[in-house]
């Protein structure tokens, strides 16, 4: 019975924390993508809680009713092989639950991977987010500015983050706006998100990337479109341009505070997409042209062409 007690304690603990003053980040969404996942999470917690309660109740009934101390000395339990009806039920219930959750899962996965509903017609703001040990570089090709370790985004406009990495695999994560996506060195991945409430949101690399991983965070600020444009203008009038030399220095392992530049590193160090990709996923045409490119180079030239 101590077990039961432990569970009740835990349940109370869970309740107080979940309903407490500070909502958990993932369950406190500030944009449609995070909201979709938060709803999926709540739904699954609910269904799963029912399953757990059913199992625990059944277990307690069995233990209570059939414990040896309650039965007579000469009680000999029967030999029961199994019952087709019972076994059909215990197969059918999990199957139904899994089918239901599968539908939810697939549908919501499509939802969070595309531009959120209602924003399809807006032109997305494209921001390249590149990780290096242990920093995040944000490049705004449209605005022609670059920031380090912080990112400003306008609210109510879809933002498309294009992710890649100068080093280990990292995972781009702003819990209150959208789920994670890996950033890798040889390809570009994308996150679509929209912020609906202005505010500051924590963002971080969630995938272990070595010594400085714990502090590999950045700050996300969502502000209205006018304020965003004002911010961009301000940077153009105050910040210095980013040079290649300076960028190479920024890539060196370590931690740096927040920085701002005009111009982006994409001009001299393009992202690994299109012709600059390290490899091609099932795109045979591109693969072919890539291979013809390399034919022109001499075979002894072992330098990596994606780092040019």
Partner 1 sequence: MEFFDRFAIPHPSPMIYASMVAIGLVLIAIVIGLTYFKKWGYLWREWLTTVDHKRIGMMYIISALLMLFRGGADAVMMRLQTAVPDNTFLDAQHYNEVFTTHGVVMIIFMAMAFIIGMMNFVVPLQIGARDVAFPRLNAISFWLYFAGAMLFNISFVIGGSPDAGWTNYFPLAGTEFSETVGVNYYMWALQISGIGTLMTGINFIVTILKMRAPGMTLMKMPMFTWSALITNVIIVFAFPVLTIALLMGTLDRQFGTHFFASTNGGMDMLWANLFWVWGHPEVYILILPAFGIYSEVIATFSQRNLYGYKSMVGSMVLISFMSFLVWVHHFFTMGHGPLVNGIFSITTMAIAVPTGIKIFNWLLTMWKGKIRFTVPMLYSIGFIPLFTIGGVTGVMLAMASADYQYHNTMFLVAHFHNVIIPGVVFAMLAGLTYWWPKMFGFMLNERIGKWGFWFLSIGFCLAFFPMYITGLDGQARRMYTYSEETGFGPLNMLSFFGAGLMAIAFILIVYNVYYSFRHSPRNVGQDPWNARSLEWATPNPVPHYNFAVTPVVNSSEAFWDSKKNGHQLFKNKTEKIHMPNNSGLPIILAGLFFVFGFSFVFGIWPGVIIAALGIFGCMAYRTFEKDNGHYIPVEEIEETEKKLGGAK
Partner 2 sequence: MKLNNTEPLEYSTNQNQMNILGFWIFLGAEIMLFGTLFASFFTLENGVGSGPSGAEVFEITPVILETVILLTSSFTIGLAIHAMRINNKKATLAFLGITLLLGLSFLGVEVYEFIHYYHVGVTLQTSAFSAILLTTLGTHGAHVTFGLFWGLFIFLQIKKRGFTPETTNKSFIFSLYWHFLDVVWIFIFSFIYLKGMM
Question: Applying CB under 8 A, does 75 fall inside the site for partner 1?
Answer: yes
* Site residue total, partner 2 (CB under 8 A): 15
Mask 125-164, x = binds partner 1 (CB under 8 A)?
A: --------x-------------------------------
- Tell whether residue 167 is a contact of partner 1 (CB under 8 A): yes
Q: How far apart are CA 174 and CA 163, in angstroms?
A: 13
Q: Which is nearest to 160 in space by CA: 119, 123, 192?
A: 192
Task: Specify the residue, 53 or 246, whose C-beta has the smaller distance to partner 1.
Answer: 53
Residues 246-285 close enough to bind partner 2 by CB under 8 A: 279-280
Closer residue to partner 2 (CB): 73 or 296: 296
Minimum CB–partner distance for residue 76 and partner 2 (Å): 40
Tell me the CA distances in angstroms from 180 to 18, 175, 207, 279, one per residue in order.
22, 8, 9, 22
Other Cβ atoms closer than 10 A to 210 = 12
- Contact (CB, 8 A) for 164 and 198: no
Min dist CB 193 to partner 2, Å, is 31
For partner 2, the binding residue among 45, 287, 289, 307 (CB under 8 A) is 287
* 180 touches partner 1 by CB under 8 A: yes
Question: Do the beta carbons of residue 166 and residue 247 sit within 8 Å?
Answer: no
In angstroms, give the least distance from the CB of 283 to partner 1: 14
Is residue 245 involved in binding partner 2 (CB under 8 A)?
Answer: no
DSSP 227: H
Burial 164-197 (b: 16+ CB within 10 A, else e): bbbbbebbbbbbbbbbbbbbbbebbbebbbbbbe
Stretch (H or E) spanning 151: strand 150-154
User: Which parts of this chain interact with partner 2 (CB under 8 A)?
Assistant: 279-280, 287, 290-291, 294-295, 297, 299-305
């Amino acid at each position: 019975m101590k077990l039961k007690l432990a569970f009740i304690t835990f349940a109370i603990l869970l309740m107080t924390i979940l309903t407490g003053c500070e909502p958990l980040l993932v369950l406190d969404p500030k944009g449609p993508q995070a909201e979709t996942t938060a709803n999926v999470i709540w739904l699954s917690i609910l269904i799963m809680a029912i399953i757990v309660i059913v199992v625990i109740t059944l277990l307690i009934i069995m233990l209570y009713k059939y414990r040896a101390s309650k039965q007579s000395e000469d009680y000999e339990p029967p030999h029961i092989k199994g019952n087709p009806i019972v076994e059909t039920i215990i197969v059918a219930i999990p199957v139904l639950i899994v089918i239901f959750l599968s539908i939810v899962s697939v549908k919501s996965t499509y939802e969070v991977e595309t531009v959120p509903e209602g924003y399809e017609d807006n032109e997305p703001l494209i921001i390249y987010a590149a990780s290096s040990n242990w920093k995040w570089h944000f490049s705004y090709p449209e605005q022609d500015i670059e920031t380090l370790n912080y990112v400003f985004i306008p609210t109510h406009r879809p933002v498309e983050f294009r992710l890649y990495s100068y080093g280990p695999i990292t995972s781009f994560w702003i819990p209150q706006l959208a789920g994670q996506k890996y950033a890798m060195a040889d390809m570009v991945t994308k996150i679509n998100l929209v912020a609906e409430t202005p505010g500051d949101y924590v963002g971080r690399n969630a995938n272990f990337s070595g010594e400085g991983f714990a502090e590999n965070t950045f700050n996300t600020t969502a502000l209205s479109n006018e304020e965003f444009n004002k911010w961009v203008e301000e940077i153009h009038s105050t910040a210095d341009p980013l040079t290649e030399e300076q960028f190479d220095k920024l890539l060196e392992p370590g931690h740096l505070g927040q920085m701002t530049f005009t111009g982006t590193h994409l001009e001299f160090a393009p992202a690994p997409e299109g012709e600059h990709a390290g490899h091609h996923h099932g795109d045979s045409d591109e693969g072919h042209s890539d291979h013809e490119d390399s034919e022109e180079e001499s075979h002894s030239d072992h330098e990596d062409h994606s780092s040019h």
